[in-house]
A and B are shown apart, each in its own frame.
Chain A
Amino acid sequence: MPKVPLAVKIAVPIVGLLLTIGVTITAVGILKAWWSTPFSPVQPSGTQPIAFRHDLHVIAKIDCQFCHRGVTLTEAATLPSVEQCYFCHQVVLKDSPEVSKIAYAFQNGEPINWVRVHRLPDHVQFVHDSHVRFFAEQNGIAPSQACSICHGDVGSMKIAEQVRNLKMRDCVDCHRNRYLTYLAPDAAQRIRTAVVEGQRLPPPTDCAACHY
């Protein structure tokens, strides 16, 4: 039996250990990336036709619903029309170069081609209305305070970006149990009891709740 040098005897297990650690880190990284990457890559700021500042509008105490009017009424939260932007901005900051684009669009009857930030696949039907109203009613808060559950703190963003991955796992986890964590403790208890006693149906986890 040939004599193995001491250096090799020490080096082999160390290299093996390092390889194992490396492979594990890579595997975990890939899995984590798969589960947490936003579905659509976040739009880099500046790709929007107008550098719209969500933070400034929120500082000005404008409610989300003032512009996203459909959010408690329809499936879509809706974007404001050019006319609605211009209604305020014919007076407010009308000399700013970004704001003057609104006046230009209004006077020429052109739409503003906003770049979509949150996009779900076509086979997913999401309804803003029922989600916003559920959290607002149960927590006793204003509808616009429920937006941040999915959209993050848009009020502190210069350019709006996607914060949650909004993949199916994200939706289904919430529909199973996590929705209770977004409720005030007493509201969560009330809902949990009602579901257990059969007075209230839990959030649907049926495929056809969203896919049709």
Chain B
Amino acid sequence: MTTQHAQSPKWSMVVDADRCTGCQACVVACQAENNVPLNTDDIFKQKRAIEWIRIERYWEGEYPNIKARFLPVLCQHCENAPCEPVCPVYATYHNDQGMNVQIYNRCIGTRYCANNCPYNVRFFNFWEPVWPESLRNQLNPDVTVRSRGIMEKCSFCIQRIRAGTRRVKKEGRALADGDVVPACAQACPTDALVFGNMHDAGSRVRKMSEDKRHYRLLERSGTDPNVIYLKRVDPTATEGAGHE
């Protein structure tokens, strides 16, 4: 038993947008890890595709000096989450580890939360998910398969957080960097996604979040996200240019 004060970790992610190449490896890894249903052409056209993490592409500069920029967007796990107060059944709430969690068996599918989310990272299951027979055995047994009528979103790979903390406890040591790595961060070839415990003063996320490039998405809206982005301001960029 540890003698110091027992404290829950506070999970956070740092996204270094300067490192992101837009390769979509995180999207694929997330899809496989979290039993996210397959998105077909017509589902995309209906704008009902489910992507717990997506890459937003935008252009910086004017032709011919134009650059493609990529921004991975996932659930921001806001401290002041707009999705939480609108849920009539408390299916989404903030837990003691700083995560915005979605409880599938409580959800009744009102979709208020998705409508109130400024980041568009909550997804509704409009259909019963189906996988081709060849993919049935690749489903992750540690993650619930969401049925029709259920809202879902990035969980910070909570199954890996649980497994990681259990392993650490079994080994009788404190959580360290690398004990918990979500699927997206694990798959990222350029190390643009870094995940860790914000309460740990020596963790990588804590150090990176103090980088002077840091900002958060829609910071002015006061949602206080737990996902921190790093992006160098391009000195040659002109204000307002390049946005579609």
A binds B: yes
**Residues of A bordering B, CB below 8 Å:** 75, 121-123, 125, 127, 129-130, 133, 194, 198-201, 206-209, 211-212
Q: Check if B128 is an interface residue, CB within 8 A of chain A.
A: no
A129-B166, A206-B96 known; A75+B144 contact, CB < 8 A: no
Q: 6 pairs across A/B with beta carbons < 8 Å?
A: A122-B144, A194-B1, A198-B6, A206-B96, A207-B101, A211-B103
Determine the main DSSP class of B at the interface with A.
Answer: loop
* A211: B residues at CB distance < 8 A: 103-106, 144
Q: A130-B166, A198-B6 are in contact. List 18 more A-B contacts (CB 8 A).
A: A75-B142, A122-B145, A125-B142, A125-B144, A125-B159, A127-B166, A130-B169, A133-B170, A199-B2, A200-B6, A201-B8, A207-B101, A207-B103, A208-B103, A211-B103, A212-B143, A212-B159, A212-B162
- Docked pose: A199 CA to B7 CA in angstroms: 9
A206-B96, A208-B103, A212-B144 known; A198+B159 contact, CB < 8 A: no
Q: Check if B95 is an interface residue, CB within 8 A of chain A.
A: yes
Q: Check if B99 is an interface residue, CB within 8 A of chain A.
A: yes
Q: Which residue of A lies closest to B143 (CB)?
A: A212
The 3 closest A-B pairs by CB, nearest first: A208-B101, A123-B105, A212-B158
Q: Check if B112 is an interface residue, CB within 8 A of chain A.
A: no
A199-B6, A201-B8 known; A208+B106 contact, CB < 8 A: no
Q: Which residue of B lies closest to A201 (CB)?
A: B6
**Residues of B bordering A, CB below 8 Å:** 1-6, 8, 93, 95-96, 99, 101, 103-106, 142-145, 155, 158-159, 162, 166, 169-170
- Docked pose: A209 CA to B158 CA in angstroms: 9
Contact B5 A207 (CB under 8 A): no
The listed residue (A125, A194, A200) touching B162 by CB distance below 8 A is A125
The listed residue (B5, B145, B170) touching A198 by CB distance below 8 A is B5
The listed residue (B1, B106, B142) touching A207 by CB distance below 8 A is B106
Shortest CB distance B185–A (Å): 18
Q: Which residue of A lies closest to B5 (CB)?
A: A198
Shortest CB distance B3–A (Å): 7
Shortest CB distance B179–A (Å): 16
* A199: B residues at CB distance < 8 A: 1-6
- Docked pose: A12 CA to B221 CA in angstroms: 69
* B105: A residues at CB distance < 8 A: 121, 123, 211
- Docked pose: A201 CA to B159 CA in angstroms: 19
Contact B104 A123 (CB under 8 A): yes
The listed residue (A75, A125, A129, A208) touching B99 by CB distance below 8 A is A208
Shortest CB distance B35–A (Å): 11
* B93: A residues at CB distance < 8 A: 207
* A200: B residues at CB distance < 8 A: 1, 6
- Docked pose: A104 CA to B103 CA in angstroms: 45
Shortest CB distance B5–A (Å): 5
Shortest CB distance B203–A (Å): 20
* A130: B residues at CB distance < 8 A: 166, 169-170
Contact B144 A123 (CB under 8 A): yes
Among B8, B101, B162, chain A packs the most CB atoms within 10 A around the CB of B162
- Docked pose: A181 CA to B143 CA in angstroms: 32
Shortest CB distance B122–A (Å): 16
- Docked pose: A10 CA to B142 CA in angstroms: 65
* A209: B residues at CB distance < 8 A: 162
